[in-house]
């Protein structure tokens, strides 16, 4: 087998936001105008009925926990924030972009359940540690294993070799990737987010989520994604193909300073929000 380069793998991945591109382009254009208002942004979103429905379901879910029910997009944008709405569009676009992947290697429902749970955990930890832009950590957590989807879709032959080795040896899936390819899914994901023009700190949070000590620009955010992935794997909330629980980095745990007594509440909240979030992002209705 000829091992494909990361650049070759990414060559087959669209650089646009798919069917959501017109909406986010209109939002960005509106934000550049001095006359921009929440109503203007809301009107741009309302041109896409599916996105409108997703936004309202999210705004009224336990993810945000607002006390009163929101009935309009403008209300939702006002309370959630324009940046968070843009993140919602990116998340929806990412799930849509990889919707046609074969389930030969992993169930896509299970993959996205794991990814969404990791995003929820990352946001909750970011809120607890009072990190800036905690909602951004939801998207980063959601996309932490997206490199595997690139592999599944762009190199089925390479993926078959990886899983063959993975099942025959007592290896982590990441270790099998490294032995077959010479790189792993977190490096692919980091390169993809760089291609998508994500801020370098958030790129590092994805690219080093299995090796958080390597992050020099976003050590806290990387530790958040690392701990979130470990926790969600331990809770067995979906799977990106891994059968084992990846090892916990003790320095990342110490860096976050998580109180072990708070883990029970955190795990309960993750499970509670996951049901609502799945309805938002994975429902086709």
What residues make up the domain containing 195? 6-17+101-282
pLDDT digits (tens, 9 = 90+) for 191-216: 999 988 888 999 999 999 999 999 99
pLDDT, greater one: 24 or 60: 60
Mean pLDDT of all residues in 151-175: 94
Q: How confident is the model at residue 179 (pLDDT cuts 50, 70, 90)?
A: very high
CB atoms within 10 A of CB 95: 21
Average pLDDT across the chain, whole number: 90
Confidence at residue 141, expressed as pLDDT on a 0 to 100 scale = 95
Confidence at residue 242, expressed as pLDDT on a 0 to 100 scale = 93
- Alpha carbons 190 and 175: distance in angstroms, whole number: 17
Percent of the chain with pLDDT over 90: 57
Residue 29 placed within a domain: no
pLDDT, greater one: 50 or 169: 169
Does residue 281 carry a pLDDT above 90?
A: no
Confidence at residue 19, expressed as pLDDT on a 0 to 100 scale = 64
Q: How is residue 129 annotated by DSSP? A: T
Nearest C-alpha neighbor of 110 from the set 241, 254, 258: 241
Residue 79 placed within a domain: no
CATH of the domain at 172: 1.10.3210.10
- Alpha carbons 153 and 132: distance in angstroms, whole number: 34
Confidence at residue 18, expressed as pLDDT on a 0 to 100 scale = 60
- Alpha carbons 260 and 254: distance in angstroms, whole number: 11
- Alpha carbons 195 and 94: distance in angstroms, whole number: 14
Confidence at residue 224, expressed as pLDDT on a 0 to 100 scale = 98
Confidence at residue 285, expressed as pLDDT on a 0 to 100 scale = 44
Mean pLDDT of all residues in 86-92: 80
- Alpha carbons 36 and 46: distance in angstroms, whole number: 16
Residue 261, exposed/middle/buried by CB under 10 A (0-12, 13-18, 19+)? exposed
- Written as six digits, the tokens of 94 are 């990412």
Extract the runs of DSSP E, i.e. beta strands, from 156-285: none
Per the structure, the count of domains in the chain is 1
How far lies 135's CA from each of 6, 106, 221, in Å? 28, 27, 12
3-state helix, strand, coil in the chain (%, to 5): 70, 0, 30
Extract the runs of DSSP E, i.e. beta strands, from 136-273: none
Confidence at residue 257, expressed as pLDDT on a 0 to 100 scale = 93
Confidence at residue 228, expressed as pLDDT on a 0 to 100 scale = 97
Residue 72 placed within a domain: no
Q: How is residue 32 annotated by DSSP? A: T
Residue 260 placed within a domain: yes
Residues comprising the chain, all counted: 285
Residue 156 placed within a domain: yes
Confidence at residue 58, expressed as pLDDT on a 0 to 100 scale = 87
Q: How confident is the model at residue 231 (pLDDT cuts 50, 70, 90)?
A: very high
Confirm if 141 and 228 have CB atoms less than 8 A apart.
yes
Percent of the chain with pLDDT over 70: 97
pLDDT digits (tens, 9 = 90+) for 12-46: 887 765 667 778 788 878 778 887 888 888 888 88
Residue 90 placed within a domain: no
Residues 6+ apart with CB under 8 A from 250: none
Confidence at residue 24, expressed as pLDDT on a 0 to 100 scale = 76
Nearest 5 degrees, angle CA 142-CA 270-CA 276?
75
pLDDT, greater one: 185 or 280: 185
pLDDT digits (tens, 9 = 90+) for 72-82: 999 988 988 88
Residue 38, exposed/middle/buried by CB under 10 A (0-12, 13-18, 19+)? middle
Confidence at residue 66, expressed as pLDDT on a 0 to 100 scale = 87
Mean pLDDT of all residues in 101-126: 93
């Amino acid at each position: 087998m000829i091992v494909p380069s990361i650049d070759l793998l990414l060559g087959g991945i669209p650089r646009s936001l798919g069917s959501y591109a017109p909406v986010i382009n209109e939002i960005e254009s509106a934000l550049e105008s001095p006359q921009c208002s929440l109503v203007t942004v809301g009107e741009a979103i309302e041109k896409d009925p599916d996105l409108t429905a997703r936004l309202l379901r999210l705004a009224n879910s336990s993810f945000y926990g607002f006390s009163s029910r929101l009935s309009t997009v403008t209300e939702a944008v006002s309370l959630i924030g324009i940046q968070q709405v843009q993140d919602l569009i990116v998340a929806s676009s990412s799930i849509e972009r990889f919707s046609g992947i074969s389930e030969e290697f992993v169930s896509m429902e299970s993959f996205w359940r794991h990814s969404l749970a990791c995003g929820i955990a990352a946001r909750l930890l970011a809120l607890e540690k009072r990190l800036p832009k905690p909602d951004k950590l939801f998207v980063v957590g959601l996309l932490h294993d997206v490199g595997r989807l690139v592999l599944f879709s762009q190199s089925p032959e390479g993926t078959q070799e990886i899983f063959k080795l993975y099942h025959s040896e007592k290896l982590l899936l990441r270790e099998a990737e490294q032995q077959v390819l010479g790189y792993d899914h977190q490096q692919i994901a980091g390169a993809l987010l760089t291609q998508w023009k994500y801020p370098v700190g958030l790129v590092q949070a994805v690219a080093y989520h299995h090796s958080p000590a390597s992050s020099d620009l976003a050590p806290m955010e990387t530790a958040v994604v690392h701990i979130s992935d470990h926790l969600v794997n331990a809770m067995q909330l979906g799977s990106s193909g891994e059968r084992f629980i990846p090892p916990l980095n003790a320095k990342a745990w110490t860096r976050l300073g998580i109180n072990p007594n708070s883990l029970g509440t955190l795990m309960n909240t993750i499970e509670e929000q996951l049901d609502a979030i799945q309805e938002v992002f994975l429902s086709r209705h």
